[in-house]
Chains A and B, each alone.
Chain A
C-alpha cells in the first residue's frame, strides 16, 4: 500500500487550517474553518494551528487568534504576495513536513482547491473534497468527512486510517462563522522561506475584482420577471448583497428594461447557481430550463397557482415590492454574506 511521507505515529495532535487571505483580510471560509476546527480541537484536546501565507500579513494573525487559533505559522515573503500554486504548494509542503499535523483543512475556493490537490499528491495522502460535514473521532484520532455526489443525491462518509495529514476541503458557507474573541492571544511561528523567483512559473497577468458578467458562473442569481415592472434596481440591490448577479425573463428584455444578455432560459442563458431567486416570474417552460440546475430555487409570486412554484424549494406567495425590500433590509443588517 502506498504510504504517506509521514504516518500516524509521527503525526502531531494538531488541526491545521489554511488561512486564505485577500488584501489583508481573512476569507470567510477560513473563519468558518477556524470555528469548526476549534470545536473539534477542544473536543479531542488537540491544538489548532493556522497557516498564514502572504506578504506583510503578520497582522492577520491576531484575527486568526480571535477566531480560535492557538498558533499561527507564518510564511511572509514578497514572492508570496499573490497566490500562485507553485509557490504556495512549496511553502505549505515545507511547513507541513516540518510540523507534521494530523489534520489539514482548506476552503474549497479556487485557490484552496488548487493547493489542496497538488499538496495531497506531494505528500502522498488522501483528500476529501467539498465536504459537507467534518467530525474528529477523538478515540481513533480520525477525521470523518461527509461528502455528497451526484448532484447531492448521495452522501458518503469517508476516512483515512494510515495516511497523514488527513486533508479535506470545505466549501464556503458549509459551517457558520464563529464569534471573534478579541482577547484571545496565540503564538506566531515564523517559517523560514526558501523560495527562488524563477521556480514560480505562474504569472498573474490580470486580476479584476468586481467586473464582468458571466451568468453561467455566478453563485447567486436574482431573476426579475414581468411582475417586477422593470424595477431592476431592486433586483441589483439584492444581488449585490448576496454576491450574485441579475437575470431576467424574456418580457422585461422585450420591453427594454434590461440587456438581452441577461435573459435566462432556453433561448437565453442556462445557469447553475447555488441559489436562484425568481421575482414575479410565472414559470414558463422556456424559462424554467434556464434555472432548473440551481441548487436551491426561491420564488416570489402573488399568484399561488403560478407554475414556478412547482420548480421551487422555498415558495413565497406575496408581492415582490414588499418581500424584496424587507429582505434587503434584513440582509443589510448583517455585514456581508460569505460567498465563494
Chain B
C-alpha cells in the first residue's frame, strides 16, 4: 500500500500536446516568454535557506517543455513574487507556479495536507477546520452591527484567519477599536461571511477557486457590499486582483483605509507611545499590490514611534514564508524565512517588529519565540494604533 503512494507521488508526467495547451492556458502563456536567464533562481529566498535552491528557472523550463515532475519543490513556492519583480521578461512566475500546481491537482498527487485544506473550505467555509457557526464567536461581546448598505460607510470583512486564530483575533479587535474611535459606521456579515478562497487559489486549485468567487460574489451582491476593508493582505489581494471588478466593488486593505482617515483628519492617535519599530512589508501588500506607503503613514501618525527600516523593505521585502499555502505545510527548522527576518529586525535595534498581516505575525512571532528573545515583540499596525488611542 505504501508503495502505491510512492509511485503516484514520484510519477513523471510526460505531458502530451493537450496537457501542454492546458498548461499554457493555465499560466496565461506566461511560461512561453521565459528565455532561461536564471535571474529568478538567484533571487528566490529559498536560495538563502536551502543548500539546494528552488530552481525557478528549471521549473520554467519544465513548464515550457510541458513536464511537471510533481516534486516537493513545486509546493515550496510562497508566491512571494520576489522573482516576478526581477524577471527581465516580465514573467509572472508565481502564476506559473499556481498553474503547475493545478496540473498536479489534476494529474498527480498534491502535497499531503492540502486536500484537507480544500475540504475544510468546502465544508466549513474556512481553511482551518473550524466550525463555521463559530466564525463570529470572537466578536460576541462587541455587538457589531450586521452590515447594512444604507447605513454603513463600509463593510469590515474579517477573513478566516483573523476570525479564528486567537492571535489574529487581537488584530481584529484592535481594528474595531480604531474604527469606533474614528467614528466610522461599519457593519459585518457575521456567520454569513464567506471565505475569499485565497488559500485555494494559491495552492493552485483554480477551478474550485472560481466556484468560490461566484458564491462569494452572490453573498456580496445580496448584502449590497461594495466597499470593504480586509485585515489580511492575502484577502485584499485576492479580491483586488482575482475577483471580477464589478461596478463600485472596492476592496481596501485596512492600512489603506486608515491612511485615508488620517489624511481626512477623522482618525487621530493621541496617546504618545515610546517605541523604536521596524516594519515588515507583507509581500501581498508591497509586491503584489505595490502598497508600502499606507502602513508607514499609519505608523507615522502615531506619536512617539520612530521607524527604523530594515535592509530589504517595501517592494524589496523578504517574505515571512507564510504565503502560497505554506501556512498549511511544514517548513523545517532552519529553513524558515521568518528567522532571517527577525535577525534583520534585531539589527535595526528596534524593540517591536511591526507588520500588517496575520500570516506574517504567525511566522515572525514563532521565530522570535524560538530565538528566546526578551523585550522584543511582534505587533500588527492595528494593535499599535489601538494602543495609541486616547483612553476612554
A and B touch in the complex (CB under 8 A): yes
Closest to A255 in B: B333
Name the interface residues of B343-392: CB closer than 8 Å to any CB of A.
Answer: 362, 366, 369-370
Q: Are B166 and A267 in contact (CB under 8 A)?
A: no
Residues of chain A contacted by B333 (CB below 8 angstroms): 253-255
Partner of A285, one of B328, B329, B362, B370: B362
Interface check A8, CB cutoff 8 A: no
Q: Are A285 and B330 in contact (CB under 8 A)?
A: no
Q: Are B166 and A266 in contact (CB under 8 A)?
A: no
Q: Are B129 and A289 in contact (CB under 8 A)?
A: yes
Given A266-B328, A283-B166, A307-B166, A251 contacting B128 (CB threshold 8 A)? no
* Distance to closest chain A CB from B285 (angstroms): 22
Name the interface residues of A250-273: CB closer than 8 Å to any CB of B.
Answer: 250-251, 253-255, 260, 263, 266-268, 270
Closest to B334 in A: A254
Complex-state Cα separation, A288 to B164, whole angstroms? 11
* Distance to closest chain B CB from A229 (angstroms): 12
Closest to A285 in B: B165
Closest to A263 in B: B330
Name the interface residues of B164-195: CB closer than 8 Å to any CB of A.
Answer: 164-168
Closest to B164 in A: A285
Name the interface residues of B90-137: CB closer than 8 Å to any CB of A.
Answer: 113, 116, 128-130
Interface check A284, CB cutoff 8 A: yes
Residue among B130, B165, B327, B330 with the most chain A CB within 10 A? B330
* Distance to closest chain A CB from B333 (angstroms): 4
Name the interface residues of A214-233: CB closer than 8 Å to any CB of B.
Answer: 226
Residues of chain A contacted by B113 (CB below 8 angstroms): 267
Given A251-B369, A285-B128, A289-B128, A268 contacting B330 (CB threshold 8 A)? yes
Given A283-B166, A285-B164, A267 contacting B129 (CB threshold 8 A)? no
Interface check A196, CB cutoff 8 A: no
* Distance to closest chain A CB from B357 (angstroms): 15
Residues of chain B contacted by A254 (CB below 8 angstroms): 333, 370
Interface check A286, CB cutoff 8 A: yes
Residues of chain B contacted by A42 (CB below 8 angstroms): none
Complex-state Cα separation, A188 to B382, whole angstroms? 76
Interface check A310, CB cutoff 8 A: yes
Complex-state Cα separation, A284 to B358, whole angstroms? 13
Residues of chain A contacted by B167 (CB below 8 angstroms): 284-285, 307
- Identify whether the interface residues of B are mostly helix, strand, loop, or mixed: helix
Residues of chain A contacted by B116 (CB below 8 angstroms): 270
Partner of B362, one of A251, A255, A286, A289: A286
Residues of chain A contacted by B362 (CB below 8 angstroms): 284-286
Complex-state Cα separation, A33 to B370, whole angstroms? 50
Given A251-B370, A285-B164, A286-B362, A267 contacting B128 (CB threshold 8 A)? no
Chain A 270-308 interface 0/1 with B at a Cβ cutoff of 8 Å (1 = within): 100000000000011110110010000000000000010
Residues of chain B contacted by A285 (CB below 8 angstroms): 128, 164-168, 362
* Distance to closest chain A CB from B368 (angstroms): 12
Name the interface residues of B128-171: CB closer than 8 Å to any CB of A.
Answer: 128-130, 164-168
Q: Are B370 and A266 in contact (CB under 8 A)?
A: no
Closest to A283 in B: B166
Residues of chain A contacted by B129 (CB below 8 angstroms): 270, 289, 292
Residues of chain B contacted by A307 (CB below 8 angstroms): 166-167
Residues of chain A contacted by B366 (CB below 8 angstroms): 250, 284
Residue among A253, A260, A285, A289 with the most chain B CB within 10 A? A285
Residues of chain A contacted by B164 (CB below 8 angstroms): 285
Complex-state Cα separation, A288 to B167, whole angstroms? 12
Q: Are A267 and B370 in contact (CB under 8 A)?
A: no
Residue among A260, A266, A288, A310 with the most chain B CB within 10 A? A266
Residues of chain A contacted by B168 (CB below 8 angstroms): 285
Name the interface residues of B210-266: CB closer than 8 Å to any CB of A.
Answer: none
Q: Are B166 and A310 in contact (CB under 8 A)?
A: yes
* Distance to closest chain B CB from A118 (angstroms): 27
Complex-state Cα separation, A82 to B116, whole angstroms? 38
* Distance to closest chain B CB from A214 (angstroms): 14
Chain A 150-176 interface 0/1 with B at a Cβ cutoff of 8 Å (1 = within): 000000000000000000000000000
Residue among B116, B167, B329 with the most chain A CB within 10 A? B167
Complex-state Cα separation, A297 to B61, whole angstroms? 50
* Distance to closest chain B CB from A205 (angstroms): 14
Complex-state Cα separation, A250 to B168, whole angstroms? 19
Residues of chain B contacted by A260 (CB below 8 angstroms): 330
* Distance to closest chain B CB from A128 (angstroms): 28
* Distance to closest chain A CB from B10 (angstroms): 20
Closest to B117 in A: A266
Complex-state Cα separation, A288 to B128, whole angstroms? 10
Closest to A288 in B: B166
Complex-state Cα separation, A197 to B236, whole angstroms? 69
Closest to A260 in B: B330
Complex-state Cα separation, A263 to B330, whole angstroms? 10
Residues of chain B contacted by A310 (CB below 8 angstroms): 166
Closest to B336 in A: A254
Chain A 50-84 interface 0/1 with B at a Cβ cutoff of 8 Å (1 = within): 00000000000000000000000000000000000
* Distance to closest chain B CB from A155 (angstroms): 20
Q: Can you list 15 A-B contacts with CB-CB less than 8 angstroms, sorted by A residue number? A: A251-B369, A260-B330, A266-B327, A267-B113, A267-B329, A267-B330, A284-B167, A284-B362, A285-B128, A285-B167, A286-B362, A288-B166, A289-B129, A307-B166, A307-B167
Give chain B's interface residues, CB within 8 Å of chain A: 113, 116, 128-130, 164-168, 327-330, 333, 362, 366, 369-370
Give chain A's interface residues, CB within 8 Å of chain B: 226, 250-251, 253-255, 260, 263, 266-268, 270, 283-286, 288-289, 292, 307, 310
Q: Given contacts A267-B329, A289-B130, could you give 13 more A-B pairs where the C-beta distance is less than 8 Å?
A: A251-B370, A255-B333, A266-B328, A270-B116, A284-B366, A285-B165, A285-B166, A285-B362, A286-B362, A288-B166, A289-B128, A289-B129, A307-B166
The 4 closest A-B pairs by CB, nearest first: A254-B333, A285-B165, A267-B330, A307-B166
